[in-house]
């Protein structure tokens, strides 16, 4: 995969949810990679896009607060993300290292209260 790393090639990827981003990132420089360039199956790509489309369902953007049950929603989303990451790992086995970076937004927010 091409990215902005010094070596311009990355073998270390991570799956992470964020608003308006693609679900695969370089784990070295944290740049967001174009999902179209990731050599995984179309099915898995669309699952990942569906998954990231739900990112932040636990946040009420109008008032910038966690919705009731927000932590549960985030946990559920993280569980799905981990599951998808395992599939990505399988498809890219021997080519890329893939890790999962769970969302901690709701938890952090609640702890700050």
| Residues near Zn ion, by CB under 5 A | 3, 5, 10, 26, 28-29
Q: Which residue sits closest to Zn ion, CB atoms considered?
A: 26
Specify the DSSP class assigned to residue 104. Answer: -
Read off the tokens for 113: 């209260």
18 contacts 24 by C-beta, under 8 angstroms: no
CB of 37 to Zn ion, least distance (A): 13
**Is the Cβ of residue 5 or residue 92 nearer to Zn ion in the bound state?**
5
Task: Give dist(CA 55, CA 63) in Å, integer.
Answer: 17
CB of 9 to Zn ion, least distance (A): 9
Tokens 């990942």 identify what position? 48
CB of 16 to Zn ion, least distance (A): 13
**Is the Cβ of residue 7 or residue 111 nearer to Zn ion in the bound state?**
7
**Is the Cβ of residue 5 or residue 67 nearer to Zn ion in the bound state?**
5
**Is the Cβ of residue 5 or residue 44 nearer to Zn ion in the bound state?**
5
Burial class of residue 87 in the structure, from the number of CB atoms within 10 Å of its CB (0-12 exposed, 13-18 middle, 19+ buried)? middle
């Amino acid at each position: 995969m091409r990215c902005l790393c010094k070596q311009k090639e990355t073998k270390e990827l991570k799956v992470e949810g964020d608003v308006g981003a693609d679900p695969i990132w370089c784990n070295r420089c944290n740049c967001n990679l174009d999902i179209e360039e990731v050599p995984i199956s179309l099915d898995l790509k669309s699952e990942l896009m569906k998954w990231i489309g739900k990112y932040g369902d636990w946040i009420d953007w109008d008032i910038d607060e966690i919705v009731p049950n927000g932590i549960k929603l985030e946990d559920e989303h993280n569980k799905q993300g981990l599951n998808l990451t395992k599939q990505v790992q399988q498809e890219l086995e021997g080519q890329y290292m893939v890790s999962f970076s769970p969302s901690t937004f709701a938890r952090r927010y609640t702890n700050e209260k």
